[in-house]
Amino acid sequence: MDNQSNKVTLVQFPAMFGLPNVSPFCMKVETFMRMAGIPYEIKEEVNTTKAPKKKFPYIIHNGQKIPDSSFVLDYLSREYCIDFNSHLSIQDQAVSRAFQRLFEENLFWVVAYSRWFEDHNWKVIKEAFFSTLPPILKGFLPNQIKKDLEAKLKAQGIGRHSKEEIYDIGLKDLRAIIDQLGAKPFFMGDRVSQIDATAYAFISNILLPEFQSPMDELSKTAENLRNYCDRMQNLYFPELLAKQEEPEMIGV
Ligand SMILES: N[C@@H](CCC(=O)N[C@@H](CS)C(=O)NCC(=O)O)C(=O)O
């Protein structure tokens, strides 16, 4: 059987809040597979301890486990002979790479801080991620994971700043994203390219109405970000749009 006839299994957190995933890294991989038309199935899991690098996402393909969203995109691009960047100039490929690092290595940590360390968002996280746990686990697991994250934020560096400084960093990143997108349909121009998988995953996570932060305040005022997410959703996750438009069932 050739590689392309074997479905890819994407192992990731369960979907919630009407988004493909609240982990932008998981959503990036699924978006990429939709962009490329790669057949896949999803295996939802919550426990990362058995993942190859103890993080989600990872994929399983032909019996092989491949962790890390960027290595997954490299692997899939090779296996399925895909190059979403072939139309970009060398300079645009460099800009695209720099934005990828901005989203994934910098802005990600601001988003993580805001979700786990702001009172309103922490309540949302606890309810969404942990409410179905047995009472004995519910008593300590959320706080344990939060403590682990605090250590990671410190190790990364962002956790050593004040709240104002953290949001100053996040807002400057977001301003650069808004300006780079401008009035273009896709992040690097008229045609979709690989960075769109990352950009869409991060921007739509920041726009999630369930979480509040100065970044979501700024992004709500940026029409180009909302239009961009609608465009990507229409193209690659049209079933989510249909769900949003379903009439509410009252009194059932
Ligand atoms: N560089 C990794 C980052 C993945 C990542 O940070 N995943 C987070 C969820 S957004 C995770 O699984 N965290 C669990 C943990 O750190 O224990 C990638 O691109 O896949």
Q: Which are the contacts of 190, defined by CB distance < 8 A and separation ≥ 6?
A: 184
Q: Give the pLDDT of residue 250.
A: 44
Q: Give the pLDDT of residue 249.
A: 52
| pLDDT, tens digit (0-9, with 9 covering 90-100), for 62-114 | 999 999 999 999 999 999 999 999 999 999 999 999 999 999 999 999 999 99
pTM of the prediction?
Answer: 0.94
Please give the average per-residue pLDDT across 200-216, as a whole number: 95
DSSP 150-168: HHHHHHHSGGGS-HHHHHH
> Rounded to the nearest 5°, which phi and psi values hold at 196?
-60, -30
pLDDT of 233 > 90? The answer is yes
| pLDDT, tens digit (0-9, with 9 covering 90-100), for 27-63 | 999 999 999 999 999 999 999 999 999 999 999 999 9
Please state, in angstroms and rounded to a whole number, the distance separating the CA atoms of residues 29 and 12. Answer: 10
Q: Atom 13, ligand 1: which residue's CA is nearest?
A: 55
Please state, in angstroms and rounded to a whole number, the distance separating the CA atoms of residues 33 and 73. Answer: 9
Q: Which amino acid is at 50?
A: K
Both tokens of 177, joined, read 């994203």
CA distances from 223 to 183, 192, 199, 215, 227 (A): 10, 19, 15, 14, 6
Instruction: Say whether 110 sits in a helix, a strand or coil.
Output: helix
Q: Give the pLDDT of residue 122.
A: 97
The CATH number given to whatever domain includes residue 163 is 1.20.1050.10
* Å from CA of 57 to ligand 1 middle: 7
Same domain? For 138 and 182 the reply is yes
Q: Give the pLDDT of residue 251.
A: 40
Q: Give the pLDDT of residue 242.
A: 75
pLDDT-derived band of residue 216, with 50, 70 and 90 as boundaries?
confident
Q: Which are the contacts of 17, defined by CB distance < 8 A and separation ≥ 6?
A: 128, 208, 210
Please state, in angstroms and rounded to a whole number, the distance separating the CA atoms of residues 33 and 9. Answer: 11
What is the share, in percent, of the chain residues with pLDDT greater than 90?
88
Q: Which amino acid is at 25?
A: F
Q: How many domains does the chain have?
A: 2
Same domain? For 70 and 171 the reply is no
pLDDT-derived band of residue 2, with 50, 70 and 90 as boundaries?
low
Q: Give the pLDDT of residue 243.
A: 73
Ligand 1: atom nearest CA of 56 is: 12
* Å from CA of 137 to ligand 1 middle: 22
Handedness of CA 214, 219, 220, 222 (dihedral sign): positive
* Å from CA of 13 to ligand 1 middle: 10
- The verdict on residue 156 lying in a domain is yes
- The verdict on residue 35 lying in a domain is yes
> Rounded to the nearest 5°, which phi and psi values hold at 61?
-145, 130
Mean pLDDT of the chain: 94
Please give the average per-residue pLDDT across 194-222, as a whole number: 95
Ligand 1: atom nearest CA of 24 is: 10
Ligand 1: atom nearest CA of 23 is: 10
- What count of other Cβ atoms lies within 10 Å of the Cβ of residue 1? 6
Q: Atom 16, ligand 1: which residue's CA is nearest?
A: 55
Please state, in angstroms and rounded to a whole number, the distance separating the CA atoms of residues 31 and 50. Answer: 24
* Å from CA of 35 to ligand 1 middle: 22
**Better pLDDT: 220 or 145:** 145
Same domain? For 123 and 149 the reply is yes
Residues with Cβ within 6 A of ligand 1? 23, 25, 48, 54-57, 68-70
pLDDT-derived band of residue 183, with 50, 70 and 90 as boundaries?
very high
Q: Which amino acid is at 222?
A: A
The CATH number given to whatever domain includes residue 59 is 3.40.30.10
Same domain? For 216 and 107 the reply is yes
Both tokens of 206, joined, read 């920041």
* Å from CA of 119 to ligand 1 middle: 22
- Out of 10, 31, 56, 148, mutate this one to test ligand 1's pocket (max ligand atoms within 8 Å of CB): namely 56
Same domain? For 24 and 94 the reply is no
Same domain? For 181 and 230 the reply is yes
Please state, in angstroms and rounded to a whole number, the distance separating the CA atoms of residues 252 and 241. Answer: 23
Q: Give the pLDDT of residue 252.
A: 36
Q: Decide which of 79, 110, 144 is a domain's last residue.
A: 79
Residue 151, domain extent: 90-245
* Å from CA of 75 to ligand 1 middle: 18
Residues 200, 228 contacting (CB under 8 angstroms): yes
Residues 193, 161 contacting (CB under 8 angstroms): no
